[in-house]
Amino acid sequence: TFIIDGLSVERNHVLVRVGLVGGSSERKLPPRALQEGEDPYPWPMFSSFPPPVCYSLDPARIHQNSLDPEMSSFLASFKDSKNEASWMEICRRHYSKVMTSKP
């Protein structure tokens, strides 16, 4: 049971803001003020972890058609690598190429 006043509403807002990392597409922040009417604050209060699920939004889905064929074949063959340093250098070059050539 909570006493809902201006301070508890502000506390709830701050706890949600701090407890859920992300931007406006990843979390839904409750209002910072009480509303007029019969139910002045319809949001659940955040008092312990995990925060109520109503404050979390589903992450945006990024559709990726497929990886670059050259990068895919390289990643599939990483178990055959004898020298980790040279493998990492090749991986950096492939990654840089993919990231600069595609939007």
Mean pLDDT per 10-residue segment, the chain (103 residues): 85 89 83 88 86 79 58 65 72 82 70
Do 25 and 57 touch, CB atoms closer than 8 A? Answer: yes
pTM of the model: 0.53
Distance from the Cα of residue 42 to its chain's centroid: 25
Q: How many helices (H) and strands (E) does the chain have?
A: 3, 0
Quote the pLDDT of residue 64. Answer: 54
